[in-house]
C-alpha cells in the first residue's frame, strides 16, 4: 500500500542552494553537541549521531520507483525492492541472535512467533514393510514410493483416500493389533491340505497336487510290501530278500587263466584256502610260502597277503688280496658292504681311493718315519697321427705320468719316466742307500 504522510507543512528549513551545509552556522542554523528535535503539530522526532526516535508512527520510504537499502560497514546488507520483496543481500538470518543448526528451517507457531526447527523427514509412515516368510521392503529415502502390484484376484486403490479392505476368505482368519501395527492372517482350514507338500519329485518325475484335498497314492513294486499303521500314521516299506534280484552279491568270481566260479544258491559261500609248501628249504620261515586271506565286512573287501617278503636276504663278502705290495694299505683292495634296514638299502663302498691309493704314487718315507705316497701327475703331449682327430688337425694328445719336482730356485719341473720294455708300466730309477741305482715298476694300470 502507499505511504501516508501524517503531517504536511509548507514551512521548511532552507539555505543557499550552493551551500553544502545548512547547520554550520552560516545561515543562522547551528547544531553542535546537541540533539536535533523536529516538531510538527502532533509529534516530536529526536535525532543524534546514532539514534532516531519518534513519539509517533515512524515511516521511512522512497518514491519514484526507488529501492530502500540498509547497509553496515559500507556494505549493502538488506534491500526492499520496488515490488515489496525483502531481499537479504548478506544471505544471513538470525532469530534473536540464533543462527540455527544445519538443515533446520524457519517455522511459526501460528501466533506470529518464529523459530528454527528441524524438519520432519518421515511423518506417520513405515520405513520397513515386513511380510512373514518374505524379504523386507525398505524405503531407500524420504519420499520413496511403495509400489503394490495387483495379482490375480487383487484390487489396488485407484485414487487418494481410497480404503484397502482385507477380507478373510475360506479357511482364513484376520486379526489386527493397532498398538504394534500388525495384521495377522491365519489359516483355519487345518483339516485339508494344511502344512503339506504340493509337489513331489520321484525319479525325475514331478507329481503335483491338483487341489488341497488331492490324494497321493503309494503303490508297492516288485518284491516290496507296505505295512500301514493308521493309528500312528506310519507306513513301513518292506523289501523281499528272496530271489537274486535283491541280493547285493556277486554270482560269479573270475580270475585270469582260471575257471569261473558260479554261485549255485543264494547261500553259497566263496572259500579261500592257503596251503603250506612242505618242499621249501628248512632254512626259510615256515610261513613264507603261504598267503594270508582276511575279510572286511564293512567294505566288502577280501585281502590276500603274500607272505614272501618283498626283499630277499643277500650276502656280500669281501676278501683281501694278499698279493698286493706290502707298501699299500691292507684294506685298499676290498669293498665295504653296509645295509640300512630303514630304507632297505645295500651300500657297497670301494676302498680304493680316487688317488688310487699307492697306485700312481711314489712311496717316500717322511722325517717321522711314516710312509707317504707322492702322487704322479698327468702329462700330455701332442703326437702326429694320420687317424681322424676331433676338431681336425693331425696331432693327438697322448698322456703319461710325471714326477713334479721342486727345484732349489723355487720353480717346478716334471721328471718323465720311460716305459717298461713290455709296455706294461712306467719305470723309475732311483739311487738307493747303498749308492747304486734301483729301477722300480710304477703301478699305473689303475
What residues does each domain of the chain span? 375-386+395-442
pTM of the model: 0.28
Residue 4 pLDDT exceeds 60:
no
How far, in Å, CA of 415 to CA of 402, rounded?
A: 5
- pLDDT per residue over 315-366, tens digit each? 555 555 455 445 455 555 566 777 777 776 777 776 654 333 355 677 776 7
Backbone angles phi, psi at 89, to 5 degrees: -70, -30
- Interval 106-110 mean pLDDT: 89
Angle at 419 between CA 418 and CA 424, to 5 degrees: 160
Specify the pLDDT at position 19: 46
Q: Which of 445, 439, 423, 420 is nearest to 356 (CA)?
A: 445
Q: Which of 305, 308, 307 is nearest to 272 (CA)?
A: 305
Residue 288 banded pLDDT, cuts 50, 70, 90: low
Between 17-21, 138-142, 224-228, the lowest mean confidence (pLDDT) is in: 17-21
Specify the pLDDT at position 395: 92
Contacts (Cβ under 8 Å, ≥6 apart) of 189:
170, 171, 172, 212
- What is the residue-averaged pLDDT of the chain? 74
How far, in Å, CA of 194 to CA of 151, rounded?
A: 23
Strand partners, 302: 295
Instruction: Please tell me what DSSP assigns to residue 269.
Output: -
The answer to whether the beta carbons of residues 331 and 318 sit under 8 Å apart is: no
- Please tell me whether residue 32 adopts helix, strand or coil conformation: coil
- The Cα-based distances of 378 to 330, 372, 398, 401 in angstroms read 26, 19, 10, 5
- The Cα-based distances of 383 to 168, 386, 397, 415, 419 in angstroms read 121, 10, 6, 19, 16
Percent of residues, the chain, with pLDDT higher than 90: 4
- Please tell me whether residue 245 adopts helix, strand or coil conformation: helix
Burial 166-204 (b: 16+ CB within 10 A, else e): eeeeeeeeeeeeeeeeeeeeeeeeeeeeeeeeeeeeeee
Report the side by side order of strands in the sheet with 395-406: 377-384, 395-406, 412-416
- pLDDT per residue over 392-432, tens digit each? 889 998 888 888 888 889 898 888 989 889 888 888 888 88
Residue 132 banded pLDDT, cuts 50, 70, 90: confident
Burial 11-25 (b: 16+ CB within 10 A, else e): eeeeeeeeeeebeee
- Interval 4-29 mean pLDDT: 52
Residue 81 banded pLDDT, cuts 50, 70, 90: very high
Residue 103 banded pLDDT, cuts 50, 70, 90: confident
Amino acid at each position: 500500500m502507499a505511504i501516508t504522510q501524517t503531517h504536511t507543512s509548507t514551512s521548511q528549513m532552507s539555505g543557499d542552494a550552493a551551500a553544502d551545509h545548512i547547520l554550520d552556522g552560516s545561515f543562522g542554523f547551528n547544531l553542535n553537541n546537541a540533539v536535533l528535535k523536529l516538531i510538527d503539530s502532533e509529534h516530536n522526532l529526536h535525532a543524534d549521531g546514532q539514534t532516531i526516535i519518534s513519539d509517533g508512527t515512524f515511516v521511512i520510504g522512497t518514491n519514484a520507483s526507488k529501492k530502500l537499502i540498509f547497509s553496515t560497514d559500507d556494505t549493502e546488507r538488506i534491500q526492499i525492492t520496488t515490488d515489496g520483496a525483502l531481499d537479504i543481500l548478506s544471505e544471513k538470518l538470525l532469530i534473536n541472535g540464533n543462527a540455527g543448526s544445519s538443515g533446520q528451517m524457519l517455522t511459526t507457531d501460528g501466533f506470529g512467533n518464529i523459530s528454527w526447527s528441524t524438519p520432519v523427514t518421515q511423518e506417520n509412515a513405515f520405513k520397513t514393510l515386513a511380510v512373514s516368510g518374505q524379504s523386507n521392503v525398505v524405503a531407500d529415502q524420504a519420499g520413496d514410493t511403495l509400489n503394490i502390484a495387483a495379482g490375480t484376484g487383487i484390487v489396488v486403490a485407484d485414487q487418494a483416500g481410497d480404503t484397502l479392505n482385507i477380507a478373510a476368505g475360506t479357511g482364513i482368519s484376520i486379526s489386527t493389533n493397532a498398538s504394534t501395527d500388525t495384521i495377522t492372517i491365519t489359516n483355519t482350514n487345518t483339516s485339508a491340505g494344511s502344512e503339506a507338500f504340493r509337489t513331489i519329485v520321484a525319479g525325475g518325475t514331478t507329481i503335483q497336487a491338483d487341489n488341497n484335498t488331492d490324494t497321493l497314492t503309494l503303490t508297492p513294486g516288485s518284491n516290496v510290501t507296505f505295512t500301514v499303521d493308521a493309528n500312528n500314521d506310519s507306513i513301513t516299506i518292506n523289501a523281499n530278500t528272496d530271489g537274486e534280484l535283491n541280493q547285493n552279491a556277486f554270482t560269479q568270481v573270475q580270475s585270469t587263466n582260471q575257471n569261473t566260479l558260479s554261485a549255485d544258491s543264494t547261500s553259497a559261500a566263496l572259500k579261500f584256502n592257503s596251503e603250506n609248501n612242505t618242499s621249501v628249504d628248512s632254512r626259510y620261515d615256515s610261513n613264507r610260502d603261504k598267503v594270508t586271506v582276511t575279510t572286511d565286512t564293512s567294505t566288502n573287501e577280501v585281502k590276500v597277503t603274500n607272505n614272501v617278503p618283498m626283499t630277499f636276504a643277500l650276502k656280500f663278502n669281501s676278501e683281501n688280496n694278499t698279493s698286493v705290495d706290502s707298501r699299500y694299505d691292507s684294506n685298499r683292495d676290498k669293498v665295504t658292504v653296509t645295509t640300512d634296514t630303514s630304507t632297505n638299502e645295500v651300500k657297497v663302498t670301494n676302498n680304493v681311493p680316487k688317488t688310487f691309493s699307492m697306485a700312481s704314487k711314489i712311496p717316500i718315507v717322511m722325517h717321522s718315519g711314516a710312509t707317504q705316497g707322492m702322487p704322479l701327475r698327468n702329462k700330455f703331449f701332442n703326437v702326429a697321427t694320420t687317424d681322424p682327430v676331433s676338431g681336425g688337425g693331425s696331432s693327438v694328445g697322448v698322456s703319461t705320468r710325471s714326477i713334479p719336482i721342486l727345484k732349489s730356485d723355487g720353480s717346478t719341473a716334471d721328471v718323465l719316466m720311460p716305459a717298461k720294455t713290455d709296455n706294461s708300466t712306467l719305470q723309475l730309477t732311483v739311487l738307493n742307500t747303498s749308492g747304486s741305482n734301483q729301477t722300480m715298476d710304477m703301478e699305473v694300470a689303475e
